[in-house]
Structure 1
Amino acid sequence: MSNPDIPSLRLLMGFEAAARLGSFSRAAEERYLSQSAISHQIQQLEEQIGQPLFSRVGRGVELTVAGEVLLRSVQLSLNTLRSGLGRVASYLDPGLVVLVCPAPLLQGWLQPRLDKLRHALPALCPLFSTDESARFVDELDVDINIVARPLQQRGLLEAPFLQDEWIVVAEPGLAAQLADRPMAEHARHAELICLEESITHDESAGLFLGPLAGFRKRLVYDDARLLLDGAKRGMGIACISRLLASESLARGELALLPDYPRLPGRQWWLSRVEGETRSPLVRQLFDWLRAEADEPGRDTQSSRTAPPDL
């Protein structure tokens, strides 16, 4: 069976206006056409589809079953088209730089620094994407990529970026209660919330097999941002990425449990096209990110001390 020809956008937009407004005359006003022009467009569309799309009701019109089916498809297509045109317009901004960054790192480390970034690069218009399936830097869709391992793509400049670590935290009230008790008794007074992947991950498994082994697991998440929210709500102690939790720790929304080991976590890498970039702002943002990660006294400084033995 052959695919039917797609009616012209002019006919579909006239139909959508008439269907949405329930009137040919009001659709004509919206489209800056005469009522007879709208009526002619609808007639053409009905002839092309082979189905009546409207029935007369008093001085207005209402959709037939075929019209309702077509309207849903047309509105969905128009919304997609408008969204695409909006994205095209955004790409015309000369300050646009596309940065792909995992959501937890974007939320916990980069978001708190956006004011500082804006002052450092006022011409920059960053487009942040959390789509980790973007595995290439191609100067069209992705300018800079923050990844857990080097992409090893020809023609890329790749540099170590941030070293994360696993820490154990709690809401300050809960942390204060535990501070008055020996560590061996903590499991009797608190439950554990954690990220699903961290239970068996090589980096963090030592915590779950060691000092956290006696805790009842109250909640297990597959999204690190929900884990952060649960910890701040006092749902239990949490084994969490320090980079994700850094702003909450600085604000006093979370407290570090100092008796628990801090284990080295993921090493993040920064990637961009080698040599000249399509815009000087790409290189400037890349350099700013590296400098910010290496700034003395930043919240990762304490991670350079070796964690205590388990």
Structure 2
Amino acid sequence: MRIPSLRLLSGFEAAARLGNFSRAADELHLSQSAVSHQILQLEEQVGMPLFRRTGRGVELTVAGEVLQRSVLRSLESLKSGLGRIETYLNPGIVTIVCPAPILHGWLQSRIEQLQLAIPSLCPVLSVDETARYIDEDDVDIMISNRPIQQAGLVEVPFLQDEWVVVANALSAKRLAGIPIEKHHRETTLVCLEESLTNDEIASIFRNQLNGFKKSALYDDQRLLLDAVIRGRGIACLPFLLASDEIKRGNLVILRDYPRVPSTTWWISRIADQPRADIVIETVDWLLAQSNLK
């Protein structure tokens, strides 16, 4: 069946809601005959009557009630979609795509400061790892572990990460007075599955962390961070993921363990004038926070 036009469905919705063709015509700024003609066209398309007359008004038939429910759902969906589009027309919207650990550990703690510096900014923060391109419609700024190598971009090194061994404040205090070779007797190790085969930190796991009992393995860095904060053991974590919790005093870097250089994170935006000056303001502010300055 051909889907009726929105014009016909709007006339039907108004008449069904108001129970009167004349009042529907007034609401839609049409004549009563125009609304009656719309309803007739709609009934011809669906192949059955949608209204029955009752005194000075109309009421829905069973077919009309079924159609009304469908039309109301469709109109609500349409209104919701238009509302979302209106939101994205906000000139202060800047979409930033960023890996979850960097957003969770480094960027999230700076959003309030960023918005104080740029009051009109409304960031859209995404961890969508399927995003591969920056454009003027969906993605304004991307933070990634390598240059995107898309034509027409400004791409610069932004943050330098490193692996650090951390414990929560209580565990760190307990371990502070104990020689490192005896730490494995006092606590356990929680770690990422990928850490077991990560060449960057293989030497730490072969040496300083070799004697520890592994109490849990995770496949998400944020879950590992939460486990260490809860005191489930010590862990080898990316510094940028743990940095906010270290600043808050919830985590402590254990000083007797090596710190190993890790990922260099890059920030990218369109090289030419982006869709709004606020994109450049945001990138400039983020770069001012860089630990590679």
Q: Specify the TM-score bucket, using the shorter chain as the normaliser.
A: 0.7 to 0.9
Alignment partner of 1:87 is 2:84: yes
Seen in structure 2, the aligned counterparts of structure 1 residues 43 and 267 have a Cα distance that, compared at 3 Å, is farther
Tell me the equivalent position of 1:299: none
Tell me the equivalent position of 1:120: 117
- Distance, in Å, in 2 between the alignment partners of 1:222 and 1:7 is 50
Alignment partner of 1:149 is 2:146: yes
Tell me the equivalent position of 1:209: 206
Tell me the equivalent position of 1:267: 264
CA shift for structure 1 position 9:
5.8
Contact 1:12 1:74 in 2 (8 A): no
Alignment partner of 1:277 is 2:274: yes
Where 1:230 maps in the other structure, the secondary structure is helix
Seen in structure 2, the aligned counterparts of structure 1 residues 294 and 252 have a Cα distance that, compared at 3 Å, is closer
CA shift for structure 1 position 145:
0.5
CA shift for structure 1 position 222:
1.8
- Distance, in Å, in 2 between the alignment partners of 1:13 and 1:233 is 56
Tell me the equivalent position of 2:183: 186
Where 2:212 maps in the other structure, the secondary structure is coil
Deviations 1:199-244 (A, max 9, x none): 2223233322322222222222222221111111111112111111
Which 5+ residue runs of structure 1 have no aligned equivalent?
18-23, 35-40, 52-60, 297-310
Seen in structure 2, the aligned counterparts of structure 1 residues 259 and 42 have a Cα distance that, compared at 3 Å, is farther
Segment of structure 1 superposing worse, 151-160 or 228-237: 228-237
Seen in structure 2, the aligned counterparts of structure 1 residues 14 and 237 have a Cα distance that, compared at 3 Å, is farther
Deviations 1:45-100 (A, max 9, x none): 9997789xxxxxxxxx9x99xx6xx979985x666545432321112111111111
One of 122, 126, 130 as aligned partner of 1:129:
126
Contact 2:158 2:292 in 1 (8 A): no
Alignment partner of 1:101 is 2:111: no
- Distance, in Å, in 1 between the alignment partners of 2:268 and 2:234 is 35
Name the aligned partner's letter for residue 187 of structure 1.
H
Seen in structure 2, the aligned counterparts of structure 1 residues 82 and 219 have a Cα distance that, compared at 3 Å, is farther
Tell me the equivalent position of 1:234: 231
Name the aligned partner's letter for residue 85 of structure 1.
L
Where 2:171 maps in the other structure, the secondary structure is helix
- Percentage of matched positions with identical amino acids: 52
- Distance, in Å, in 1 between the alignment partners of 2:257 and 2:9 is 64
Where 1:203 maps in the other structure, the secondary structure is helix
**Aligned Cα root-mean-square deviation (Å):** 3.8
Tell me the equivalent position of 1:195: 192
Where 1:207 maps in the other structure, the secondary structure is helix
Deviations 1:103-133 (A, max 9, x none): 2211211122122212221222221111121
Aligned residues: 275
Segment of structure 1 superposing worse, 273-282 or 241-250: 273-282
After the TM superposition, which residues 57-96 of structure 1 pair with which residues of structure 2 at under 5 Å, given as runs? 75=73, 81-96=78-93
Where 1:127 maps in the other structure, the secondary structure is strand
CA shift for structure 1 position 6:
3.8
Could you say which structure has the larger radius of gyration?
2
Deviations 1:11-44 (A, max 9, x none): 8899999xxxxxx7xx558xx869xxxxxx9999
Contact 1:172 1:255 in 2 (8 A): yes
One of 249, 252, 255 as aligned partner of 1:255:
252
Seen in structure 2, the aligned counterparts of structure 1 residues 236 and 42 have a Cα distance that, compared at 3 Å, is farther
Contact 1:16 1:71 in 2 (8 A): no
Q: TM-score, normalised by structure 2?
A: 0.77
Seen in structure 2, the aligned counterparts of structure 1 residues 11 and 252 have a Cα distance that, compared at 3 Å, is farther
Contact 1:193 1:237 in 2 (8 A): yes
Q: TM-score, normalised by structure 1?
A: 0.73
Tell me the equivalent position of 1:301: none
- Distance, in Å, in 2 between the alignment partners of 1:78 and 1:226 is 41
Contact 2:189 2:233 in 1 (8 A): yes
